[in-house]
Amino acid sequence: MTGNGRSRRGPGGPVPPTLVYFGGIFAGWWLDSIRRFPIDGAGASIAQFVLGGIALALGFVFFFWGLFTFARARTGIMLQQDASHVVESGPYRFTRNPMYVGLTVGYVGLALLFNFAWPIVLLPIVLIVTTLTVIAREERYMHARFGPAYEMYCARVPRWL
């Protein structure tokens, strides 16, 4: 509750960010079932498979590092939860959105593993939707909630990488 008796809420959002990424992967899979569009027509090479596995693993690591850093800092993790302060430790030293960076790297890893080019083609749409419907809302919330502290953080740390 705030001083005026109203409860605070996080930035909220029309759609969970993970759903945007899963939607892109699913749409890519569906498009591939209609019109095959492989990354490599001869099939995924060992190098492509290894690179895809590494990207998927790194994506998970980065995503969960961001998640656990928020949990350790005892601030809101979900979009409906209130942020208690600006987190600047862990992966938040390198990017303001490590969880979304992790989802993006993992997304590319899945596309490589399954040899699907459609998800790669759809990735710019996924990133635009995430930026406009989730990140922009989060940034407005953080600016309103923390003002100059968040502005100084934004000046030091990039949105992505």
* The pLDDT value given to residue 149: 95
Contact predicate 79/15, CB 8 Å:
no
The pLDDT of residue 126 is 98
pLDDT score recorded for residue 79: 66
Q: pLDDT tens string for the chain (161 positions)?
A: 344 434 456 666 778 899 999 999 999 999 999 999 999 999 889 999 999 999 999 999 999 999 999 999 988 777 667 788 999 999 999 999 999 999 999 999 999 999 999 999 999 999 999 999 999 998 998 999 999 999 999 999 999 98
Per-residue confidence (pLDDT) for residue 77, from 0 to 100 = 74
Residue 56: how many CA atoms within 13 Å on its side-chain side? Answer: 12
Positive or negative torsion for Cα 72, 8, 132, 24 = positive
Per-residue pLDDT, 14: 77
Indicate the pTM of the whole model. Answer: 0.89
pLDDT at 36: 95
Q: What is the pLDDT of residue 8?
A: 53
